[in-house]
């Protein structure tokens, strides 16, 4: 005797094939995979045309790795150089001759100019040469990253007028240029270096008080050399 009007084995009571229902249920996966592929292509194009801030990227990587791995001392190339500089310049740091920081602009070393020059001069002292040697050594230990170096010269607001340096502008530029030349002598390629002089235009502390009187104790803080190491 025939039963159920000849319905197949995979049919339900309404005569609908269960395999067809299953195929219809999975059709959304095709649309989903297309969407994911388009998103991947979009982000690939976005990355290709964007300008990447390497220093910021390094700090982001360090923060992300610390979150994921729950580690406090995850190292990046710039962080490794800073750690090395902290160790090599420990004596100078203890004496207050240098302050070293790492931020989104790279590593910044702030030196009191008295460690590098005599007053009103731009000839690098032996103590300054020793410091530059240590900075160069720290960079060369990770030389394949080809770090760039900016050197800034800053003076106080006391005017200078000599045959060699008619103003603080010439003095600040000569000091920065002298360090760049020393870096070159130590093997750092010239296309990785830049020298800038700012005279007394970018003080870290005020030159004068509210009445316009010179703050003499601030002069030593404003006379400085700044070396920035970055990608």
Domain 77-230 CATH class label: alpha beta
Q: For position 179, what pLDDT does the model report?
A: 95
Those residues whose C-beta lies under 8 Å from the C-beta of residue 17, and which sit 6 or more positions away, are: 8, 10, 11
Six token digits for residue 24: 């219809």
Q: For position 151, what pLDDT does the model report?
A: 97
**Cα 137 to Cα 88, 110, 141, 168, distances in angstroms:** 9, 18, 6, 31
Q: For position 15, what pLDDT does the model report?
A: 55
Angle between helices 54-69 and 77-88 (to 10 degrees): 90
User: Residue 49: what are its φ and ψ, rounded to 5°?
Assistant: -100, -5
Contact 86, 100 (CB under 8 A): yes
Q: For position 57, what pLDDT does the model report?
A: 58
Contact 208, 219 (CB under 8 A): no
pTM of the model: 0.68
Q: For position 166, what pLDDT does the model report?
A: 96
Six token digits for residue 170: 């010439």
Give pLDDT < 70 ranges for the chain. Answer: 1-27, 48-75
Q: What is the 3-state secondary structure (H, E, C) of the chain?
A: CCCHHHCCCCECCCCCEHHHHHHHHCCHHHHHHHHHHHHHHHHHHHHHHCCCCHHHHHHHHHHHHHHHHCCCCCCCHHHHHHHHHHHHCHHHHHCCCEEEEEECCEEEEEEEHHHCCCCCCCCCCHHHHHHHHHHHHHHHCCHHHCCEEEEEEECCCCCCCCCCCCCHHHHHHHHHHHHHHHHHHCCCCHHHEEEEECCCCCCCCCCECCCCCECHHHHHHHCEEEEEEEC
Contact 145, 217 (CB under 8 A): no
């Amino acid at each position: 005797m025939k039963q159920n009007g000849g319905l197949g084995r995979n049919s339900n009571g309404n005569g609908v094939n269960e395999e067809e229902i299953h195929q219809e249920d999975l059709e959304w996966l095709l649309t989903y995979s297309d969407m994911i592929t388009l998103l991947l292509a979009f982000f690939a194009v976005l990355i290709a045309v964007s300008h990447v801030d390497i220093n910021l990227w390094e700090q982001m990587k360090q923060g992300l790795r610390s979150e994921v791995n729950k580690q406090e001392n995850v190292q990046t190339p710039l962080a490794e150089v800073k750690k090395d500089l902290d160790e090599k310049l420990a004596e100078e740091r203890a004496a207050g001759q240098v302050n070293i920081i790492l931020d989104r602009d790279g590593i910044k070393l702030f030196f009191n100019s008295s460690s590098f020059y005599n007053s009103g001069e731009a000839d690098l002292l032996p103590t300054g040469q020793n410091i530059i040697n240590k900075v160069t050594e720290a960079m060369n230990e990770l030389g394949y990253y080809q770090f760039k170096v900016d050197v800034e010269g800053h003076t106080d607001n006391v005017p200078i007028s000599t045959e060699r340096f008619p103003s603080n502008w010439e003095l600040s530029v000569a000091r920065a240029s002298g360090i760049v030349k020393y870096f070159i002598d130590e093997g750092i390629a010239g296309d990785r270096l830049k020298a800038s002089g700012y005279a007394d235009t970018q003080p870290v502390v005020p030159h004068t008080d509210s009445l316009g009187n010179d703050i003499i104790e601030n002069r030593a803080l404003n006379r400085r050399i700044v070396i920035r190491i970055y990608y």
